[in-house]
Structure 1
Amino acid sequence: MTDWKDFAWVAWRLEVQDRSRVAGDDPDLDERTEETMTELAASLGCVYEHCVDSDTYPDGMPYYAW
């Protein structure tokens, strides 16, 4: 098992599958979720940088990654 103390930093990716398609085609998703994601990251001892992806799976279901 890897001891995470041996790394200077670790990059985490949080992915949300939008089965209800509630986020829609939201060009402001990054700005709208920035405060929440910053608080979530800080609560885990991490630093939030930005929303890195907004795409769809082959079946058309949207997903977003931070």
Structure 2
Amino acid sequence: MNLEDFDLRNLRVLNLAGNTLKKLEPGCLGNLTSLKALRLDNNRLSDLNGVVSGFLISFGST
């Protein structure tokens, strides 16, 4: 299953926290044109180059 399988043009907030993600492929969020906030805390991501641009990213509370 891929994000392209769904109509997510109006998705504004995506919570991927606590999923033990290790990698997100570059461009994987490119079709989420309305995305404003992305939550990624409690994952094992080390590199987000080419993945994120133009929205707020949260890695946890401060």
Greater helix share, 1 or 2? 1
TM-score, normalised via structure 2 length: 0.26
TM-score, normalised via structure 1 length: 0.26
Question: Relative contact order (C-alpha < 8 Å, sep 6+): which is higher?
Answer: 1
